[in-house]
Amino acid sequence: MAPILLLLTGFLISGLELTGAQSVGVCYGRNGNNLPSDGEVVDLYKSNGIGKMRIYEPYQTTLDALRGSNIELTIGMLNGKLQELTDATAATNWVQNNIIKYWPDVKFKYIAVGNEVHPDKAEAQFVLPAMQNIHNAIVAANLQDQIKVSTAIDTTLLGNNSPPSAGSFNDSARSYIIPIVNFLVSNGAPLLANVYPYFAYTDKPQDISLPFALFTSPGVVVTDGSLQYQNLFDALLDSLFSALEKAGAPNLQIVVSESGWPSEGGTAATVDNAGTYYKNLINHVKGGTPKKSGQAIETYLFAMFDENLKTGSEIEKHFGVFSPNKQPKYQISFG
């Protein structure tokens, strides 16, 4: 289906689940002036059975609140910090202050060195050196088996993706991403990817049906050889898996580090659509994609709360699965 060719422009890739018995994770963003305290947030994760959290920078109050919670944590740093971490001493200090200081009371799982850094941005040259330095500091602490160092990409790094088996990294991205992929393979770390069918759909609504984006298509929409696709999430992920195969990393795991749907502020952004997306996503990732059937996808929903200080378009403020008053926006189970 020709529209799939155009899917990849302007949307992100998100986290994958390793075992169906585990809950999905939820990203905890703090761009709001009306959000609960960190202690209340951790309690909300625990009371809802949410066993994984992603945070975007090392807030000390969040890390303190997570002590003893047994919540698995993906921790990041702002892209503006990457250049500083190309200095080995600075990277060692970062790991000492934000990881070792809290380990093992805080259950770190992944360190995301950069989020959606594009090859044409100044920060791109710093991502791999920073990853290497952070990894070396983790090795020096003998934590390399417990904590994996990666980076989070979005799907604009892909060029062709129709059908999914044709997925490949675009020419401008290849020199940036392939050395990173090689690093991940060498160290047994997954690639983090932010995957947003919402943005793919709203970018080309004339070509992509809403049911295909919401996991509600009644039948197969895309046939790719022996593989059949009934939803856009699978098509996007398998395009990325195909790109990794072509990059020489056929067995590299992908963790969907963000995926979500807004409840207001733009095209198809309604409470009904968002609730449908989150509920179906949670159920779907337990079973894998057509290319990786039976391999549950470790996935992180974006995000925990509506964030009223987010910049950009209005929809950015409405991705929460909870309202700031801690009331659930949807009837979903995270298990």
Give catalytic residue positions.
116, 258
Structure tokens at 89: 């001493």
DSSP of 206-217, one letter per residue?
Answer: TTS-HHHHHT--
Of 85, 175, 176, 97, which Cα lies nearest the Cα of 136?
85
CB 211 within 8 A of CB 6: no
Residue 318, phi then psi, degrees to nearest 5: -130, 35
**Strand residues in 51-159 grouped as ranges (E):** 52-55, 72-76, 107-115, 148-154
CB 134 within 8 A of CB 111: yes
Q: How far apart are CA 202 and CA 199, in angstroms?
A: 5
SS (H, E, C) 108-123: EEEEEEEECCCCCCCC
Q: Please compute Rg for the chain using Cα positions.
A: 19
Residue 114, phi then psi, degrees to nearest 5: 95, 145
